[in-house]
Amino acid sequence: MLAKLGDEEERRLVLGVARSVNDYAWRERLSASEARSALTIAQSHGLPDVLARVMAARGVLPEVAPQFLEPSLKSLMPDPSSLVDMDVAVERVADAVEARKRIAIFGDYDVDGATSSAIFAKYLQWLGLDPVIHIPDRIIEGYGPNGPAIEQLHQNGAELLVTLDCGSTSFEAFESAKACNLDVVVIDHHQVGETLPGVRALVNPNRQDDLSGQGHLAAVGVTFLFLVGLNRELRRRGIFKSGQQPDLMTLLDLVALGTVCDVVPLIGLNRAYVTRGLAVMHQRRNYGLTALSDAARVSGKPAPYHLGFLIGPRINAGGRIGDAALGARLLTTEDPSEARAIAERLDQLNSERQAMEAVMLEQAAAEAAMAIDNRNPAVLLTGSEEWHPGIVGLIASRLKEAHRRPSFAIAYDRNGKGTGSGRSINGVDLGKAVRRAVEEGLLEKGGGHAMAAGLTVMREKAADLETFFNEVLKDEVEAASSKRELSIDAALTATGANLDLLEMLEKAGPYGAGHAEPVFAFPAHRVTFADVVGKGHVRATLAAGDGSTVKGICFKADDKPHGKLLLEGRGRSLHVAGSLSIDTWQGTPKVQLRILDVADPQVSRI
C-alpha cells in the first residue's frame, strides 16, 4: 500500500532557493508526514536515511518497505483473468494454437507495438507456429488496423487476427474483418469510450468496465499478462506434455523496453517488469536487442535511460521515416547477422531522423514564439506542409518542454489534411480534450491518453481547434504552469556522492515516469572546471569545502541559463541540483551528476 502523496502544507525551501537561474523554487520533495514516515522506515528496517527519504517521498509506507525494495512478479502480478475479456481472448487463441491455425499479428509502429508483437510472435514460434506480423506504414496506412491490410492478411491465409497496442477504436476496420469472417482479438491499453468495436474479445485495462486496476500497464505489459494466461490454458489442455513449455521470463527484456519507452508509470507491476527485464537484458539473450545496444554504444549495466534514450529512439526511427516493420523483425530474429544488419540500418535512420528533426524544430520554434507573442495560447498548435509526419511527436515534445504548455506539431499534405501529435504537461489531460474535439467535429479523428495524443485535422479548422483547446484547457494549463518548483530529495556534498550511495539508491528504482529519479542539492560547491563538449553539452567539476569533487554534465545546455551560469561561474561557489548516475566510460565506474538546475547563493533568495 502507498501513502497519499503529499500533505496540504507547503514544503520548505531547500537552501533558501526561491528562484534559481531557471526560475524554479527548490522545495523538499518530502512533506511533513512523509518525513515522519521516512524516519520510521529508517529506524524500523535499519535503512540509511537517504534511502528512506527517497522511498517515503514516493509513497512507500513503512510496513511495505522490505517488499518494495525487492519487487517480484510473483507478488505483484494479478491473475490475468481479472481483466475483462481475458478468458475469452485466451480461449480463442488457445483454440487456434491447438488447431495449428495461422495467426496474424497487427501491431503499432512504436516501440510498445514492436515489443508487444515480438513477444507474442516469439511465443507462438516456440510452439512451432509461423505467425505473420503486420506493422502499418505510418504515412500510407496511418495508425491502427485498416480494411485493406486486414483483407490482405486474410487472403494470405490468416485465420485469426490479434491486434496489439491498437484496435480499441477501430470500428470501421473490423467491419472488413467481419466481412472476411475473420475473428479478431484486441489487446490494447489506450483510453476508450463506452462504445467498443464488435470483436471476439477486447482486452484493455482502460476499458470503462474493467476493474482490474492495471490501467498503468503499457500494451506490452498487457500482452505479457495475456501470455501468462495463455500459457496456463495451454498447460491445462496438455499441450506441453510432449515438450518443454516456453520460458516466459526470457521475454522480460522486451517487456521492459516497451514499458520504459511508452513512458507509463514505473509503479506496481511495471516496476517489477522493468527490474527483472533489465537483468534479462544484461544477459544479452535477444540477438536483435544486443545488436541494437551495440549500435547505440550502450555500455555497462543497462538502465531505463539506455532503453528510453538510446535504444527506443532507434527502433522508433524505423516507424518514423523508414520501414515500420524493422523493429519487430529485429526483436524476433534468431540470426545474429540479420540482427546486426537491421541494427545498423536503424542506427542510420536515427541519424537521418535527428537531422530532419533539427530543421523542423527550428521552424516550429519560430511559429510557437510568434503565437505566444500574439495570442499566448494555452495550447500550442504548429504545422507545415514541409514536415515529416513521423517526426511531429518529437517536435511537440520539444515545444512542450521549452514553453511548459501542451503542444501539437502537425504535418499537412498537399490537400490540407494534417497528421498531428501532441504532448502534455502534468495535470492536463490532452487525450480527453482531443476526444472532445472529435465529438465537436473539429477533428477527422483523434485519441490518446493524458500525456500524449494524436489527431487528424483539416488545415482550415486549425484556428478553431486552437480556440477550442484554449476554452477547455486554459484553467488546467494555468494551474499546472503556476507551480515552478524543483523537488529535492536531500542535500549532499561531493564526498557523499559515491558509488555506495548509488548502489543503495538503485534498490528503490528503477526510476522513470511516475517514479521520479532522486534529485539532490549540492550546496555552495565551487566550479573548478566548466566547458562545452559534444553537441552543446556543458561538463563541469564541482568541489566541496573539504576538497572532494564530483563531475557533472548538463545535456544540451550551453545556451540554457544553468549551462551559461556554470560556464561563467568558474571559480565561484554555486548551489547545484541534479541526479546521480554511474559513468562507465573507459571501463572504470565513476559517479556523474546530471545537472538540472543551478542557483547563485547571492541572488536566489527573494
**Could you tell me the residue ranges of all domains in the chain?**
25-30+486-599, 75-347, 375-481
Q: Cell numbers of 466, please?
A: 486552437
Q: Phi first, then psi: give them for residue 496, nearest 5 degrees.
A: -80, -15
Average pLDDT over residues 28-33: 94
Q: pLDDT tens digits for 111-126?
A: 999 999 999 999 999 9
pLDDT-derived band at 62 (thresholds 50, 70, 90) equals very high
- The three-class DSSP label of residue 415 is coil
Counting beta carbons within 10 angstroms of the beta carbon of residue 587, is it exposed (0 to 12), middle (13 to 18) or buried (19 or more)? exposed
Please give the angle made by the CA atoms of 247, 248 and 250, to the nearest 5 degrees: 80
H/E/C letters for each residue in 70-135? CCCHHHHCCCHHHCCCHHHHHHHHHHHHHCCCCEEEEECCCHHHHHHHHHHHHHHHHCCCCCEEEC
Cα distance between residue 595 and residue 511, in whole Å: 17
At 191, the amino acid letter reads Q
Rg (CA), the chain: 25
- The helix/strand/coil state of 599 is strand
Report phi then psi at 527, rounded to 5.
-85, 105
Cβ(293)–Cβ(307) below 8 Å: no
Chain mean position to CA 27: 26
- Phi, psi at 123, each rounded to 5°: -65, -45
Fold for 375-481, please state it. Diaminopimelate Epimerase; Chain A, domain 1 (3.10.310)
* CB neighbour class for 554 (10 Å; exposed up to 12, middle 13-18, buried from 19): buried
pLDDT at 5 over 70: no
pLDDT higher at 233 or 3 = 233
Helix axes 49-57, 499-506, angle to 10 degrees: 40
Average pLDDT on 70-91 reads 96
Cα 112–Cα 113–Cα 116 angle in degrees, nearest 5: 85
pLDDT band (50, 70, 90) for residue 482 = confident
Considering Cα of 58, then 59, then 61, then 67, what sign does the dihedral take?
negative
Cell of 590: 565513476
Residue type, 469: F
Q: Each residue of 327-348: pLDDT tens digit? A: 999 999 999 999 999 999 999 9
Q: How high is the pLDDT of residue 122?
A: 98
Whole-number Å distance between alpha carbons of 264 and 217: 7
Mapped onto helix, strand or coil, the DSSP state of residue 338 is helix
Where are any strands of DSSP class E within 434-562?
445-448, 452-458, 485-488, 490-491, 520-533, 537-543, 549-554
In angstroms, the CA 69 to CA 72 distance is 10
Predicted pLDDT at 2: 45
What is the CATH architecture assignment of 25-30+486-599?
A: Beta Barrel (2.40)
Helices and strands per DSSP (H, E), number in the chain: 21, 18
**Which grid coordinates are listed for 158?**
490468416
Grid coordinates in use for 413? 499534405
Report pTM: 0.88
Q: CB of 378 within 8 A of CB of 478?
A: yes
Give the tens place of pLDDT for each residue, 533-575.
998 999 999 999 999 999 999 998 999 999 999 999 999 999 9
* Burial annotation 192-231 (CB, 10 A radius, 16+ → b, else e): beeebbebbbbbbbbbeebebebbbbbbbbbbbbbbbbbb
What the block records as the C-alpha cell of 305 is 535511460
Per the listing, cell 505479457 goes with 224
What's the CATH number for 75-347? 3.90.1640.30
Quote the pLDDT of residue 575.
97
